[in-house]
Chain A
Amino acid sequence: MVTKAEILHWLEEVKDPEIPMLSLIDLGVIRNVEITTNTKVKVTMTPTFTGCPAMEVMKQDVIDTLLNYGIDDPEVEINFKERWKSDLINEKGRTALKKFGLAPPPRDTLIVDIDILQHVECPHCESHDTNMKSPFGPTLCRSLHYCNTCKQAFEQFKPIE
Chain B
Amino acid sequence: MNEQALKDLLYKIADDQLIIGHRNSEWNGLGPILEEDIAFCSMAQDKIGQSLQFYKLLEELGEKDPDAIAFTRNAPSFHNSQLVELPIGDYEFSLMRHFLFDHAEFIRFEMLSRSSYPPLSEIAHKLKGEIKYHIMHANAWIQQLGNSTDEAVKRLQSALNMAFPYALGVFEESKFEGDLIQDGIFEGEHKLRSKWFEDIDKILAKTDLILPDLAAESAHLGGRYGEHTEHLQPLLDEMSEVFNIDPSAEW
| A interface list, Cβ under 8 A from B | 49-53, 79-81, 83-85, 112, 114, 117, 133-138, 140, 143-144, 158, 160-161
User: Are B122's CB and A83's CB within 8 A?
Assistant: yes
The residue of chain B having its C-beta at the shortest distance from the C-beta of A137 within the complex is B38
- 14 more contacts with CB within 8 A, not counting A51-B45, A112-B136, are A50-B46, A50-B49, A51-B47, A51-B50, A80-B123, A80-B125, A84-B126, A85-B129, A114-B136, A134-B35, A135-B133, A136-B35, A143-B133, A144-B35
Q: Which of A52, A83, A114 contacts B125 (CB 8 A)?
A: A83
| B interface list, Cβ under 8 A from A | 35, 38-39, 42-43, 45-50, 52-53, 122-123, 125-127, 129-130, 132-133, 136-137, 139-140
User: Are A134's CB and B38's CB within 8 A?
Assistant: yes
CB distance from A79 to the nearest CB of B (A): 8
CB distance from B136 to the nearest CB of A (A): 5
Q: Which of B52, B132, B133 contacts A136 (CB 8 A)?
A: B133
User: Are B126's CB and A83's CB within 8 A?
Assistant: yes
The residue of chain A having its C-beta at the shortest distance from the C-beta of B45 within the complex is A51
- Which A residues touch B125, using CB under 8 A? 80, 83
CB-CB under 8 A for A140 and B46, given A112-B132, A160-B130: yes
CB distance from B211 to the nearest CB of A (A): 22
User: Are B45's CB and A140's CB within 8 A?
Assistant: yes
User: Are A158's CB and B48's CB within 8 A?
Assistant: no
Q: How far is the CA of A113 from the CA of B216 in the complex (A)?
A: 34
- Which B residues touch A112, using CB under 8 A? 129, 132-133, 136
CB distance from A32 to the nearest CB of B (A): 15
Q: Which of B35, B127, B133 contacts A50 (CB 8 A)?
A: B127
- Which A residues touch B129, using CB under 8 A? 83, 85, 112, 160-161
User: Are B38's CB and A49's CB within 8 A?
Assistant: no
The residue of chain A having its C-beta at the shortest distance from the C-beta of B127 within the complex is A50
User: Are A52's CB and B122's CB within 8 A?
Assistant: no
Q: How far is the CA of A84 from the CA of B53 in the complex (A)?
A: 15
Q: Which of A49, A85, A160 has the most CB of B within 10 A?
A: A49
CB distance from B66 to the nearest CB of A (A): 13
